[in-house]
């Protein structure tokens, strides 16, 4: 009876707790956004006699439309030129802007330069090719001397981690493993790695590492 009550209680927590945490997160996110746009919401409420929630939705919609319009403009030659000029000016007066922008671009921006979009999944013998211990990593660069630069994400937050430069002989590539699948195992602190790296996903040893 005691085991039944304990198992049922924990079983219920496993179902309810993630939903509750997700709800609290969205509540926190909504409150954070609405606090930031409060001046605009107050202004909109003063012009249109609508509830504050509706005013919040109107302001958020305007911000999203503005982001879309700016995105369309910077895709043009003139818009791209103006964007580069603005970036250069802002970097001179706000040095931290460049670092923040690069982080945002790597995660959400141009996919051709983002390892989170194009990095190949690999298992790396981080402590040397003769040490059997391996880590899950992303290949972020391949150098002319055959070595690799890798990013080893840390769980459960895959956007943080460490950068290493390793020999090709330490790297086993997994071109058939999708990046989002590998990131899920990092978020899960390694859970699911057995299924991820087992067949039918094929591993390739770099030619330099044979």
Tell me the DSSP string of 69-138. Answer: HHHHHHTSHHHHHHHHHHHHHHHHH-THHHHHHHHHHHHHS-GGG-HHHHPEEEEE-TT-TTS---EEEE
**pLDDT attached to residue 174:** 92
Place of tokens 């981080």: 126
Could you tell me which residues come within 8 angstroms of residue 58 by beta carbon, excluding any fewer than 6 positions away?
44, 48, 50
Q: Please report which confidence band the pLDDT of residue 183 belongs to, taking 50, 70 and 90 as the band edges.
A: confident
Query: Among the listed ranges 40-54, 79-93, 154-168, which one has the minimum average pLDDT value?
Result: 40-54
For 63-73, the pLDDT digits (tens) are 888 888 888 88
The whole model's pTM is what? 0.53
Are residues 202 and 140 part of one domain? yes
| Owning domain of residue 199 | 115-209
Structure tokens at 111: 């996919």
Are residues 150 and 191 part of one domain? yes
Total number of domains constituting the chain: 2
**pLDDT attached to residue 206:** 63
Q: CB–CB of 162/122 below 8 Å?
A: no
Are residues 9 and 100 part of one domain? yes
Domain termination residue (choose one: 60, 81, 108):
108
Are residues 153 and 78 part of one domain? no
Are residues 156 and 64 part of one domain? no
Q: Please report which confidence band the pLDDT of residue 13 belongs to, taking 50, 70 and 90 as the band edges.
A: confident
Are residues 130 and 53 part of one domain? no
Strand-pairing partners, residue 152, are 162
Are residues 99 and 154 part of one domain? no
Domain termination residue (choose one: 75, 108, 141):
108
For 136-169, the pLDDT digits (tens) are 999 988 999 999 999 998 888 777 889 999 999 9
């Amino acid at each position: 009876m005691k085991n039944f009550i304990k198992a049922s209680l924990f079983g219920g927590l496993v179902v309810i707790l993630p939903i509750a945490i997700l709800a609290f997160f969205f509540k926190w996110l909504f409150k954070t956004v609405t606090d930031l746009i409060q001046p605009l919401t107050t202004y909109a409420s003063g012009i249109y006699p609508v509830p504050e929630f509706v005013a919040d939705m109107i302001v958020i919609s305007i911000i999203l439309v503005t982001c879309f319009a700016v995105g369309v403009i910077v895709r043009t030659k003139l818009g791209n030129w103006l964007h580069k000029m603005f970036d250069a000016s802002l970097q001179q007066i706000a040095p931290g802007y460049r670092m923040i922008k690069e982080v945002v671009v790597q995660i959400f921006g141009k996919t051709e330069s983002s390892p989170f979009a194009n990095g190949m999944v690999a298992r790396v013998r981080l402590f040397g090719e003769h040490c059997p211990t391996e880590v899950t990593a992303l290949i972020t660069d391949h150098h002319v001397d055959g070595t690799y630069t890798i990013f080893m994400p840390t769980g459960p937050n895959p956007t943080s981690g460490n950068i290493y430069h390793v020999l090709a002989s330490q790297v086993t590539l997994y071109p058939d493993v999708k990046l989002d699948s590998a990131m899920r195992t990092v978020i899960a602190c390694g859970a699911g790695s057995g299924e991820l790296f087992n067949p039918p996903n094929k591993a390739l040893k770099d030619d330099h590492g044979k």
